[in-house]
Structure formats: C-alpha cells, structure tokens
Amino acid sequence: MSNEATTDGTAAGTDTTAGTIASYIDHTLLKPEASEAEVLKVCAEAAEYHFKSVCVNPIWVKTVKTALKGSGVLTCSVIGFPLGATPSDVKAFEARGAVLDGADEIDMVINIAAARANDKGALVDDIRAVAESVHAGGAILKVIIETALLEDAQKVLACEAAVEAGADFVKTSTGFNGGGATVEDVALMRRTVGPGLGVKASGGVRSLADAQAMIAAGATRIGASSGIAIVKGEQGSSAY
C-alpha cells in the first residue's frame, strides 16, 4: 500500500520504512542566518531524496521555487514565525506574498496568547484571515499551535479553532519556543481534528524511529532538518 499523502495531508497508507518515509518529510531550513548556498543545498537534497517539500523563511521562497522546478518537491514557507505575535492582517499579507512568490504550502504560527487565554474566537479570526489569503492563491495552510507553551485543553481549543477556520493541517511546533513534537501531543491533535485534516509533527524528530512513532500516533507529515538521517535510518543531530 502506498504512503503517498493526499491533498489535505491524510495518509493513504502506513508504509513508513526508511525507503518510503521521504514523502512525509518537509525538509526544513529555518535558521535566520541561513545562506543562499545552504538553501540551495537543502533543495538539492530534497530533490535527490524525494522529500515532500522544502520549508524555508519567506525571503527564500523564490529561490526554492526555482531550484525545485520539475523535481516534484513542493515549496513551503512560514508566516508569523516563530512567535505568532503579529496582527492577523499582517500575517495574511505576509502569506499572500509568499504564495505569490511560489509557495505551495504555508505554515503559520497562531496567536499563542489567545490560546493560553482560552479565547477561541480570537484564534478562529487569526487563522481564518490567513486561510482565506492562502486558499485564494491555491495553496494549503498548516497551523502551528506551539504545543510546548499550551496545556492539553488549550491544545484542543487551538485545534478546534483551526478546523473551524478552514485550515488544512495542524502542526505541533516551531522548534524555536521550547519542546517539540511528542507522540502524546500528536495523538491528542489527531483525536481532536479527526481524519479530515493533516497533522504535522515537528521539532525534535531526528531519527526513523522518531518519525515512525509520530506517524503511528496520527501524523501525516514530518517537519525536520534531519530528513536525510531519517531516511538513512541514522540519528540526526539538529535541534529541529
């Protein structure tokens, strides 16, 4: 059975051997000091290993889109990153620009303060503004809820808001604000959003075993800068 992800991120199967897991992985380079040479190296790796996407900061979207042309690898960017503490209309503007530059997928950070205040209405408004902007450009939206900063009830609230606002995925972490993905959080997110949305596990996924555990818990995408180590069955050393 194939493990190729569907458009909304749900998996068509559970084949997660080292040889097949690449299609789950967003090969990621988000450090602020990343150079063009480093970005191009990540693109070449993604094309070689057939990762699902390359995920970069917005300034690199055009570079990545050009480098990946014809490879079948998607271009992904991050919005409101890594704090989520910018106004929703600014996030929507930033997302629109990234999509116009060629991003196929957008990973946005929510208003974390609203989640901690249990303000679902504010979360829905924040996510919907970006979702409408992203979808208008034909791209998909992943919503980073930053699990390390939330209690379980707040994680559920944020996931429910993402569903209500029309997001395509929920995602665990930026990797910049404390802990990353856990099996428990991925399972909680999957139970909350049901089968219709993708769940992306990111932050601290550094080995094939890590990735397999996340997928078994309900993840349909893996965000990692250790993608090559994962597909080789080795142990990555990156913090993300």
Q: Which is nearest to 6 in space by CA: 24, 28, 31, 27?
A: 24
Confidence band, pLDDT 50/70/90 cuts, at residue 1? very low
Of 168, 171, 185, 210, which residue is the catalytic one? Answer: 171
Of 52, 142, 155, 200, which residue is the catalytic one? Answer: 200
pLDDT tens for 48-70 read: 999 999 999 999 999 999 999 99
The radius of gyration of the chain's CA atoms, rounded to the nearest angstrom, is 16
% the chain with pLDDT above 90: 87
> Quick check: is 69 catalytic?
no
Write the Ramachandran bin of 178: left for phi over 0, alpha for psi from -120 to 50, otherwise beta: left
SS3 74: strand
Mean pLDDT rounded to a whole number for the chain: 92
Backbone angles phi, psi at 190, to 5 degrees: -65, -45
CA 32 to chain centre: 17
Q: What is the mean pLDDT of residues 80-90?
A: 98
SS3 128: helix
Of 104, 107, 126, 168, which residue is the catalytic one? Answer: 107
Q: What is the mean pLDDT of residues 214-237?
A: 91
> Quick check: is 200 catalytic?
yes
> Quick check: is 107 catalytic?
yes
pLDDT tens for 4-28 read: 344 444 444 456 776 789 999 999 9
pLDDT tens for 94-134 read: 999 999 999 999 999 999 999 999 999 999 999 999 999 99
